[in-house]
Amino acid sequence: MILIVDDTPENLISLKRVLERHNFEVDTASSGEEALKKVLKNEYVLIILDVQMPGMDGFEVAEAISGYSKARETAIIFLSAVNKELKFITKGYSSGGLDYITKPVDMDILLLKVKTFYRIYEQSRKLIEIQKALLDEIEYRKQAEHKKDEFISIASHELKTPLTSVKGYMQLLGRSVEKGDIPTVKKHLEKAQIQLEKLNELIADLLDISKIESGKLKFNKKCFSIDELLDSVIDIIRQTNPEFNILRKEKIGLEVYADEMRIEQVIINFLTNAIKYSPGTSEIKINVNVIGEKVYVGVRDFGIGIAPDQQKSVFDKFYRVEETAIHFQGLGIGLFISAEIIKRHGGEVGVKSTPGEGSEFYFILPINSGAETD
Ligand code: ADP
């Protein structure tokens, strides 16, 4: 928009008319004071400013405007009938004007100048946009790089811990075998097996991440019963966490068409997190409902919960809630993988949580997630 500032109504009207005829949006002010008020409120590409005005003159207005952040990109053209001498023209430029036109105004020249200023304004606006996008991209990449470094350090640590345990158990095993102490051999074997299983899960997660990154996460869909899947998952979790009471409502008798192994992976992930992030508690509830053509599966715990501003981020890659990360081991990739699996089935994931009271992680999955098998 262009702002014309002139104390003579006829000048305002005639200039406005010409500019509007050439499809420019025009606003007017009949004094310096009014112009300042308008500049504070609106954004202008160009201000055409009469120099000779009672009260504030054009130069004073320009000087005041140059201090406004809103008008940083605004160009100013001075119009003057009287001050034609060089010193006034110089003053016009030094007080923030970009051009100086003497009256009577040659409308063709003025129009050419206005068009040029508009073009420059558009170009500089685009440049600023590009610059901002570039800066955002640099910042994003820096953060991603930092997260990756952090991840590599945590991942190596997480992989090394079970490996060191396995090495230890192997040594103990050797000694027990020499002694012929079979019960101790069995005990160490079991412990080594648990650590190997941990290692296996970690590596499987890392492989999933790289499959997701390269678009190679494949699905093998078929019909299966949600009730039966939940029965088997609850069995698996009970074996390793007998102290937890996993409650679920009555069965829903529903078959879904999806990748059973991957959906099992998601539920196991929700359940192991529910146990991990709920120290001192011993109950978990599984809520299953059918909503239209979709099935809702929620895993409710009574653990530490998640602050509202962090809830959205927990599904991001490598994200771990900072305040609690030091107390719990993890890589921050389980929920990211789960979210990818559900999204790729056309479903959605989410969490409802109150800090100190617990969380319910859920997914809503279409009963028939389509025939694609990728
Ligand atoms: P990890 O548990 O390995 O850190 P996840 O991707 O499974 O990675 O979870 C990401 C983060 O979400 C966790 O670090 C934790 O801060 C938070 N989180 C996940 N599940 C729960 C839960 N049931 N209760 C509280 N916080 C949770």
pLDDT at 275: 97
Q: Is the dihedral of CA 30, 35, 37, 39 positive or negative?
A: positive
The burial class, CB within 10 Å (0-12 / 13-18 / 19+), for 259 is: buried
What is the CA(273)–ligand 1 centre distance, in A?
6
Question: 204 to each of 198, 238, 266, how far by Cα in Å?
Answer: 10, 22, 13
| Cα–Cα distance measured from residue 93 to residue 87, given in angstroms and rounded to the nearest whole number | 10
pLDDT at 261: 94
pLDDT at 163: 94
Ligand 1 atom with the shortest distance to the CA of 299: 23
pLDDT at 85: 60
Question: 62 to each of 20, 29, 40, 43, 330, how far by Cα in Å?
Answer: 24, 14, 13, 15, 60
Nearest CA to ligand 1 atom 20: 273
Q: Single out the residue of 221, 253, 257 nearest to residue 373, CA to CA.
A: 221
Contact at 8 Å (CB) between 286 and 247? yes
What is the CA(245)–ligand 1 centre distance, in A?
20
- Please provide the size of the chain in residues: 374
Element holding 20 (H helix, E strand): helix 9-21
Q: Which residues of the chain have pLDDT under 50?
A: 372-374
pLDDT at 90: 61
Nearest CA to ligand 1 atom 14: 320
What is the CA(208)–ligand 1 centre distance, in A?
17
The pTM of the full predicted model, rounded to 2 decimals, is: 0.67
Extract the tokens encoding 111. 């129009």
| Cα–Cα distance measured from residue 265 to residue 271, given in angstroms and rounded to the nearest whole number | 10
pLDDT at 374: 46
Nearest CA to ligand 1 atom 13: 320
pLDDT at 373: 42
333 lines ligand 1 (CB under 6 A): yes
